[in-house]
Amino acid sequence: IKNIKTCGGPNDSMFVRLFIPHSRTSLPASMFSRNDFSIWSILRKCIGMELSKITMPVIFNEPLSFLQRLTEYMEHTYLIHQANASSDSIERMKCVAAFAVSAVASQWERTGKPFNPLLGETYELVREDLGFRLISEQVSHHPPVSAFHAEGLKKDFVFHGSIYPKLKFWGKSVEAEPKGIITLELPRYNEAYTWTNPTCCVHNIIVGQLWIEQYGNVEVLNHKTGERCCLNFKPCGLFGKELHKVEGYILDKSKKKVCSLYGKWTECMYIVDYAALEAHKRSGKGTAEKKSSKPGSREEVEEIPLPEADTVEVIPGSYLLWRIAPRPVNSTEMYSFTSFAMQLNELDKDMDGLIPKTDCRLRPDIRAMENGDIDLASEEKKRLEEKQRAACKTYSKSDDEWKTKWFQQGQNPHNGSQDWLFSTGYWNRNYPLLPDIY
Ligand SMILES: *[C@@H]1O[C@H](CO)[C@@H](O)[C@H](O)[C@H]1NC(C)=O
Ligand SMILES: *[C@@H]1O[C@H](CO)[C@@H](O)[C@H](O)[C@H]1NC(C)=O
Ligand SMILES: *[C@@H]1O[C@H](CO)[C@@H](O)[C@H](O)[C@H]1NC(C)=O
């Protein structure tokens, strides 16, 4: 693609690579084949049930906790730095919208289920090279709620949220609806943006090849200016024509469409003037609106759809907002992890002793799975789940209530809905009286 202005990229990052503590490019062991396991024998009695209530064999997991998986929202933090550096609010909205789409890109081909976090489990990630630090905590068990709080190391942003992944089993597929609100604050502009992630669906969990789809509407709202970005993650439709497509537009406060966004969450996002897009459509070159598939037809498109050979058709006058980084060489044998994900459970010597004993990196079942010891992983997973059950029973019998350590339930200050808010202290690195959850 020629003559495309880019809106910057990881190389334009204004953060000098001071120190890169995370450097692992692959896992210690490759994954086991899941082909010999019949998931059907476990699931046939559970159609329509919530998956969090079903105990799944560890073979269907990936060696990461859901708290670590959440952290993958931060892979493209450079888009937030770009938002901070733009003096125009519409330009900022473009970067924030690209960030919202890029945040789900790591889910592409990731068909393993992350481990359910235990109540009180925490995870921290400091990436000086990317300019942020993040802390998350499992703040509720029923329903399972994970809260996270990230901040720019140079105080240019705060990014936080609480997620309740509601999993539903639909016979041939599993749907994960990420309930919960996500907030990005840019203190320099006194702005806050909120949105909710699209629904993720894993197909063919019984037979055939697993594949992932994201669908639904995502609305990014700038609470200060009233500007919004409406994004539509398209369901794949008949013959896979809409596979992975995302389309949307930015509305100014008078609800006038000022620009259009298009692309695929697995690949890239472009932006173009709304007028230029309309002109392109009138010239007949634009992809005419395809007949959208009837809702009922989704069931028939269960086999893996073939992506169109030419992926995203670029409309003249567009420029690139974001493009996905290639997966590392060993990715397919390693749960389709991105380079970012490969490093998440790495435990280097400097970190051991510094992080609290509730950190995911110290969870024995995940560690065993990462090391390729499936039997130990399975045993440890059972042991931890039983330990958690016993602890919950003790709590319900006594007058003590479970207290979250780093987050408190409260109202989202911008949207007003129920949320979990960070209550400082974590980064002082003084961790007395932590629960023994492993
Ligand atoms: C890929 O995996 C192999 C063995 O599992 C390892 O020797 C090699 O270093 C890995 N490649 C990279 C780039 O990490
Ligand atoms: C945020 O943007 C302003 C204005 O461009 C810039 O001066 C400042 O260095 C930026 N902050 C960071 C952390 O990049
Ligand atoms: C808060 O955000 C949620 C999720 O995005 C949305 O459904 C709800 O309407 C919002 N509430 C208000 C008061 O804006």
pLDDT tens per residue, range 51-62: 656 667 788 899
Task: Convert 382-398 to b/e letters by CB count within 10 Å (16 or more is b).
Answer: eebeeebeebeeeeeee
Does 81 contact ligand 2 (Cβ within 6 A)?
yes
* Mutation test residue for ligand 2: of 91, 127, 156, the one with most atoms within 8 Å of CB: 156
Find the 400 Cα to ligand 2 centroid distance in Å: 46
pLDDT for 310 equals 54
Predicted confidence pLDDT, tens digits, the chain (438 residues): 333 333 344 443 333 334 445 578 899 999 877 665 666 566 665 666 666 566 677 888 999 999 999 999 999 999 999 999 999 999 999 999 999 999 989 888 888 889 999 999 999 999 999 999 999 999 998 888 999 999 999 999 999 999 988 888 877 788 888 889 999 999 999 999 999 988 888 887 766 777 788 888 999 999 999 999 999 988 877 666 778 889 999 999 999 999 999 999 988 999 999 888 888 888 865 444 443 334 444 444 455 555 554 578 888 889 999 999 899 988 999 999 999 999 999 998 888 888 999 999 999 999 999 999 988 999 999 999 999 989 888 888 877 778 899 999 999 999 999 999 999 889 999 998 899 999
Question: Taking phi first (over 0 means left), then psi (-120 to 50 degrees means alpha), and beta for anything else, what does residue 320 get?
Answer: beta
* Mutation test residue for ligand 1: of 22, 23, 26, 32, the one with most atoms within 8 Å of CB: 26
d(CA 136, CA 159): 12
Phi (first) and psi of residue 224, to 5 degrees: -80, -45
Residues 6+ apart with CB under 8 A from 388: 118, 119, 141, 437
Phi (first) and psi of residue 347, to 5 degrees: -125, 100
Does 82 contact ligand 2 (Cβ within 6 A)?
no
Residue 365 parent element (H or E): helix 364-370
Tokens of 299: 């069931």
pLDDT for 10 equals 42
**Ligand approaching nearest to the C-alpha of 337:** 1
Q: Where are the domains of the chain?
A: 20-211+327-428
Question: Taking phi first (over 0 means left), then psi (-120 to 50 degrees means alpha), and beta for anything else, what does residue 389 get?
Answer: alpha
Residues 6+ apart with CB under 8 A from 338: 72, 75, 106, 325, 327, 328, 331
pLDDT for 221 equals 97
pLDDT for 291 equals 38
Angstrom distances, CA of residue 211 to CA of 5, 157, 318, 329 = 33, 34, 30, 20
Find the 74 Cα to ligand 1 centroid distance in Å: 25
* CB-count exposure of residue 88 (10 Å: 0-12, 13-18, 19+): exposed
Nearest to 368 by CA among 359, 360, 378, 358: 378
pLDDT for 133 equals 97
Does 100 contact ligand 3 (Cβ within 6 A)?
no
Ligand 1: nearest atom to the Cα of 29: 5
pLDDT for 309 equals 46
* Mutation test residue for ligand 3: of 162, 163, 181, the one with most atoms within 8 Å of CB: 181
pTM, two decimals, is 0.86
Span 380-412, pLDDT tens digits: 999 999 999 898 888 888 777 788 999 999 999
pLDDT for 122 equals 97
pLDDT for 345 equals 96
pLDDT for 288 equals 41
Nearest CA, atom 11, ligand 2? 156
Does 162 contact ligand 3 (Cβ within 6 A)?
no
Does 416 contact ligand 3 (Cβ within 6 A)?
yes
Where are the alpha helices (H) located in 12-118, listed in sequence order?
40-43, 66-70, 78-85, 89-102
pLDDT for 90 equals 96
Find the 102 Cα to ligand 2 centroid distance in Å: 22
